[in-house]
Copies of this chain bind each other. A is one copy, B any other.
Amino acid sequence: MSSGAGFVTGEGDSRPPVRMGILGVGRIGRLHAQLLHREVPGATVTAVADLVPDTAERVAAGLGVPALGIDDLLASDDVDAVAICTSTPTHVDLTVRAAEAGKAIMCEKPVSLDLGEVDRAIAAVESAGVPFMVGFNRRFDPGHASVRQAVESGAIGELHTLRITSRDPAPPPPEYVAASGGIFLDMMIHDFDMARFITGSEVVEVYARGAVRIDPRIGEAGDVDTAVVLLTHEDGTLTTIDNSRQAVYGYDQRIEAFGSGGLAASDNPSRHGGWRMTADGREGEPLPWFFLERYLSSYRHEWAAFVALVRDGGQSPVDTVDGRAPVAIGMAATRSMREGRPVAISEIG
């Protein structure tokens, strides 16, 4: 659990580390590279690649590994597995090529904004038989995972309703929004994954409403910045999700599952335990602001799960079905909002 535990305990496993090649070293790729190289037991980085050679060179130098072209990296005998951290439109091609090269694959979400493309990636992975995992890191957040555990173990009985709140501290630039696929495929896709993960039940119908309340330029880009969705699951569970591109008080990420035996919740952690009480009332307990403050431990656990998958085989904790389903839900939500009616998943792709 502790981010610090690795410091003092250490090596344990005597097997050689999983040698990772990082494809794309922008913000998230650089994070993964540094985690894998320095902090994830059983993993090491042996090469990086990026469409911008200068970026690749700089990150490579910082890690003390070579910067390679993508072809060379995929052909390298020093690379067991790749982390695909490039922009979304390149995910499927790289997944196909990495699968053909026999590499284990961690692909950042979403696999694609196009279901046919997702299916092409899945086919390549299945044909090659390589380990494959999608980067839905929130499944590995200890708080969220405790909710799944409460549902799965029956601690809160049969699940009736689920509620997910995701609010970012600040909206992305309008130009990012324009290329993002829209709030349902760019942002709420994490929550669609959570809804499937926590319930363990597929979504069959989606009703979505959205609004532009924060930044009119987001509306001009054809998107909304505020959205509420009601999902109906195969087993009858009803899930509500609300998203906002801007919560001025910080990064707000909460889940609450309610069932016949009680409720299980994952609340926001405080940034620290300090607070005050004066004649004006209680104050303090600030939320995390930066996504890494909130989710760094989820990334550590995610990589530990990937290393175990590559070394030990077995079922991927975020498999091809998990990569496809949230994209379909996101497309249904988009259509629902546009057409002002509930949309069945069966209408999609």
Copy tally for this chain in the complex stands at 4
Pairwise interchain contact A277-B249, C-beta atoms closer than 8 A = yes
- Per-residue CB contact flags for chain A residues 3-47 toward chain B (1 = under 8 Å, else 0) read 111011010000000000000000100110011001000000000
With contacts A238-B211, A266-B273 known, is A282 near B285, CB below 8 A? Answer: yes
How far does the alpha carbon of A1 sit from the alpha carbon of B292 in the complex, in Å?
A: 11
Pairwise interchain contact B283-A263, C-beta atoms closer than 8 A = no
How far is the CB of A266 from the nearest CB of chain B, in Å? Answer: 5
Pairwise interchain contact A281-B292, C-beta atoms closer than 8 A = no
B-chain residues with CB within 8 Å of residue A276 when the two chains form the complex:
150, 155-156, 262-265
- Which residues between 186 and 215 of chain A lie within 8 Å of chain B, taking CB atoms? 207, 209, 211, 213-214
**Which residue of chain B lies nearest to A288 when distances are taken between CB atoms in the complex?**
B2
Check if A290 is an interface residue, CB within 8 A of chain B.
yes
Check if A278 is an interface residue, CB within 8 A of chain B.
yes
How far does the alpha carbon of A287 sit from the alpha carbon of B277 in the complex, in Å?
A: 9
Pairwise interchain contact A274-B209, C-beta atoms closer than 8 A = no
Check if A232 is an interface residue, CB within 8 A of chain B.
yes
- Which residues between 268 and 312 of chain A lie within 8 Å of chain B, taking CB atoms? 268-288, 290, 292-293, 296-297
Query: Which bucket holds chain A's interface residue count?
Result: 35 or more
**Chain A residues within CB distance 8 Å of chain B:** 1-5, 7-8, 10, 27, 30-31, 34-35, 38, 62, 141-147, 150, 155-158, 160-161, 163, 165, 167, 207, 209, 211, 213-214, 226, 228, 230, 232, 236, 238, 240, 242, 244, 246-249, 252, 254, 258, 260-288, 290, 292-293, 296-297, 340-342
A sample of 21 inter-chain contacts (CB < 8 A) reads A1-B271, A2-B296, A4-B292, A7-B34, A8-B30, A143-B272, A143-B274, A146-B275, A147-B274, A160-B213, A160-B226, A207-B342, A230-B230, A248-B262, A249-B282, A252-B263, A263-B278, A265-B274, A281-B283, A282-B286, A341-B342
